[in-house]
């Protein structure tokens, strides 16, 4: 449904996008994951025809966006990083305006009502956009993307700036859209792709460094378990006791201290559950464990693992 081949975009000597290729099949929800400045927005803006590429091709539904922008754009609903809202319009006026700009042929009243219901903005349809909360504005942004019922939906960082409740609502909305649409969304948050996407394309400094099913990424992130353990006892002795436990790969003090306890970061060898051995080793010495929690990898660590090959591309 979407095909990007050897896409390049440079600004002078700076390569915002540096030879990117990937495909998205019909019905997939793909997360485009990378830190700020990785090239996510640039790629999405090229894919949606907002920006020209330096070289390479981008196709939607088999149509080249450069050769036939009008036909290609009809297949795409786009929520840019900064949604193009006219804040002096009411929600209803704005959606009618979008309907006309897109030259939509669907039954106007029925279609716009459907779009408002899907995005849950029906109750604010007569409000001025400038008086809406950030969460509602984002929904209006999503609603404009859905006008015309395009089969492909592209969202650039759809949950940035929202509060936790709004984030959950928007994620649910996107997951539901994914049942009937092909979706690409960009994010710099690993847990966001884990919550929404079937597949993850990871981009860093303009290059794709991984293209994986989400479940593989999740397994890799959780596989090499690390724990943050709070233990009461003499720091150096506790540390050397932790290091001598079978299955412990490494242990270090985090610097956190609370009364007579210190927090240790302990990493287990692959596939070994070290929680019980830690408990028994500490209880033997009468050093109480007063806290233990798993620490998952963050995006930067996932990157490092991919780069050094320990998280394979497969
Ligand atoms: P992301 O969306 O992943 O945060 P962007 O695609 O916005 O990343 O940007 C990728 C890189 O290209 C960044 O280093 C950014 O500074 C640079 N860049 C983006 N737009 C321009 C521009 N118009 N002129 C020069 N550099 C740009
Ligand atoms: Mg961006």
Q: Is the CB of 45 under 6 A from ligand 1?
A: no
Minimal-distance CA residue to ligand 1 atom 16: 37
38 Cα nearest atom in ligand 1? 3
Which residue CA neighbors atom 22 of ligand 1 most closely? 11
Distance 41 CA to ligand 1 centre (A): 7
Nearest-CA residue for atom 6 of ligand 1: 39
pLDDT at position 313 is 40
- Which atom of ligand 1 approaches the CA of 17 most closely? 10
Residues 26, 210, 247, 232, CA torsion sign: negative
**Smallest-distance ligand from the CA of 11:** 1
d(CA 65, CA 2) in angstroms, rounded, equals 11
Return the H-helix or E-strand segment holding 304: helix 299-307
Cβ(37) – ligand 1 distance below 6 Å: yes
Q: Is the CB of 280 under 6 A from ligand 1?
A: no
pLDDT at 219: 77
Mean pLDDT by 10 residues, the chain (314 residues): 95 94 95 93 94 93 92 94 92 97 95 95 96 93 96 95 90 94 93 91 92 84 82 96 96 89 93 94 97 82 68 42
What pLDDT is recorded for position 270? Answer: 83
- The contacts of residue 140 (CB under 8 Å, 6+ apart) are 83, 85, 91, 94, 95, 119, 121, 129, 132
Ligand nearest to the CA of 40: 1
Is the backbone of residue 309 left (phi > 0), alpha (psi -120 to 50) or beta? left
Nearest ligand to the C-alpha atom of residue 16: 1
Ligand nearest to the CA of 158: 2
Residue of 190, 143, 179 whose CA lies nearest to 35: 190
Helix (H) or strand (E) holding 252: strand 248-258
138 lines ligand 1 (CB under 6 A): no
Atom 14 of ligand 1 has which residue's CA nearest to it?
Answer: 37
Ligand 1 site, residue 12, Cβ cutoff 6 A:
no
Contact 129, 140 (CB under 8 A): yes
* 11 pocket-lining for ligand 1 (C-beta < 6 Å): yes
């Amino acid at each position: 449904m979407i095909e990007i081949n050897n896409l390049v975009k440079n600004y002078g000597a700076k390569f915002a996008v540096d030879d990117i290729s990937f495909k998205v099949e019909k019905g997939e929800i793909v997360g485009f994951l990378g830190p700020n400045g990785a090239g996510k927005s640039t790629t999405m803006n090229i894919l949606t025809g907002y920006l020209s590429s330096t070289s390479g091709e981008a196709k939607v539904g088999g149509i080249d966006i450069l050769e036939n922008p009008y036909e290609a754009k009809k297949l795409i609903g786009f929520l840019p990083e900064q949604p193009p809202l006219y804040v002096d319009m009411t929600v209803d006026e704005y959606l009618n305006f979008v309907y006309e700009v897109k030259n939509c042929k669907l039954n106007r009243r029925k279609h716009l009502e459907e779009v408002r219901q899907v995005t849950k903005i029906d109750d604010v349809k007569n409000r001025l956009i400038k008086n809406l909360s950030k969460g509602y504005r984002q929904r209006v942004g999503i609603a404009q993307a859905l006008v015309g019922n395009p089969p492909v939906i592209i969202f650039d960082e759809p949950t940035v700036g929202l509060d936790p409740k709004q984030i959950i609502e928007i994620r649910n909305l996107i997951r539901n859209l994914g049942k009937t649409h092909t979706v690409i969304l960009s994010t710099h948050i690993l847990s966001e792709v884990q919550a929404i996407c079937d597949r993850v394309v990871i981009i860093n400094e303009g290059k794709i460094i991984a293209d994986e099913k989400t479940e593989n990424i999740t397994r890799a992130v959780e596989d090499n378990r690390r724990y943050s353990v709070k233990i009461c006892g003499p720091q150096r002795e506790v540390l050397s006791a932790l290091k001598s436990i079978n299955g412990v790969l490494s242990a270090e003090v985090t610097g956190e201290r609370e009364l007579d306890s210190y927090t240790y970061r302990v990493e287990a060898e692959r596939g070994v559950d070290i929680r019980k051995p830690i408990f028994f080793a500490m209880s033997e010495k009468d050093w109480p464990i007063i806290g233990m929690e798993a620490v998952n990898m963050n995006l930067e660590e996932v990157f490092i693992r991919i780069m050094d090959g320990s998280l394979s591309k497969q």
